[in-house]
Amino acid sequence: MQNTDREILEKLQALFHKLNISIIYAEEIFKRTQQTNSAVEDPVDKAEVLKLDIARVTAHAQDIEKDIKRWYLEIQDTHTNIVKKIFELTNTENLADLPQELRLAHEQLIEFQMRLEEINAIFPRFHAQLHQGLESVQQLASQVEVEKKEVTELAQQLVSRLNQFIQLQSDVGQILNLGYRLEIISSELSNLAIEVRADREAVQKIKINLENISNTTDDTIWELRAEVELLREHTDHSYREIKYRLQTQLKNQHRLDNWLFYITFSIAFLAVTWILGH
């Protein structure tokens, strides 16, 4: 089940309160250790009182550890969802709501970062209080012979828990870095949105130019067709006129040939007649 940014912020707030409560518990253990050492004469009674306090802090520390681990996984899941959303946004045609979404994401990242810094700031104090409580337990363990083994085991468990908290503190540092990376991604996404918008405007201009070119081309084609049709008609007319003139010329030539033949024949006939007469 995916968590929204608001749900994760609420869990961060709850974790912040739990850490503060843990610090208060650790301070109470340290104070009660001092009070018990001065007020209780029986070392066994001292051990019993401190065992209850240690068990309470240990259980609370385990609860906090589970919350931090679960919250860390949810942060990673949120990061994955943000990356997925980035790809979805870059693939969508409608980017009108993108600037507002980027603004909201940026505000949530700032809120994440502030809450993480608060948690990271109280870890040293929590570490110091647990360490003081651990020293008190170790001092008491050296005084109590009957319950020494059990108290020592509790002290070792507390040491282990303290080391786990140190590791978790490192994990929180990584989460802070994750928040910075998300902010960088948000900035890159904003730049990408601007580029996408510019690309869309360029594509729109190209489309308009292509439509204008297409319209101009269509007009030119119609003009060329009209000119070709006119030229064809003119050519046909010229061809018919030339053909007519050629036929007329051939007829005239034929008449001329006949006339020349007639004249030549007549002259030849007259010549022969004249010769025979003399």
Structural domain includes residue 51: yes
- pLDDT tens track, the chain, 278 positions: 445 555 655 655 666 666 666 666 655 655 655 555 554 445 555 556 666 666 666 666 666 666 666 666 666 666 666 656 655 655 555 555 656 666 666 666 666 667 666 666 666 666 666 666 666 655 655 555 545 566 566 666 666 666 666 666 666 666 656 656 666 666 666 676 676 676 667 667 766 766 666 566 666 667 767 776 776 777 667 667 767 776 777 777 777 777 777 777 777 677 777 777 66
Structural domain includes residue 17: yes
Residue 144, helix vs strand vs coil:
coil
Structural domain includes residue 232: no
Structural domain includes residue 67: yes
Structural domain includes residue 115: yes
The closest of 243, 265, 19 to 130, measured between CA atoms, is 19
Domain with 96 in it = 5-209
CATH number of the domain to which 182 belongs: 1.20.58.590
Structural domain includes residue 43: yes
Number of folded domains that form the chain: 1
d(CA 172, CA 69) in angstroms, rounded, equals: 10
Structural domain includes residue 204: yes
Structural domain includes residue 260: no
Q: Residue 68: what residue type?
A: I
